Homo-oligomer: A and B are copies of this chain.
């Protein structure tokens, strides 16, 4: 659970991103209980309300659910998790393409640069991470 938050982006967004990463990389069992807001706040040394903010948004997106007076749980909808993953990638691709298309550069150059950057980060072919 050790992770530093940068000082640039809102903490609650970084929290959401943190959970997204765990979600799409199967680090959660479906329906798994999450630590309480206050517990997480303690671990990250942030305000409980900030955690609540993140939880609210994740609940809004159905990433988690909370029965009254029960700990929040990770969604049991595995299709949703796949969708989160797909949407995330799609959005990243769109943002990327949208920005580079203002540049006069060939497709081959682009993919070569992407490939280079991927391998630079020890990202072997085949999708086995780290």
Task: Give residues in A with beta carbon < 8 Å to B.
Answer: 20-21, 24-26, 85, 88-90, 92-97, 99-111, 113-115, 117-118, 121, 123, 125-127, 129
Contact = CB atoms under 8 A, between A and B. Distances in A.
A123 B99 CA distance: 13
Given A90-B113, A92-B99, A104 B118 contact: no
Nearest to A110: B114
Contacts of A104: 24-26, 85, 127, 129
Given A92-B96, A101-B121, A127 B106 contact: yes
B101 A118 contact: yes
A106 B114 CA distance: 12
A118 B113 contact: no
* Of A26, A97, A108, A111, most B-chain CB atoms within 10 Å: A97
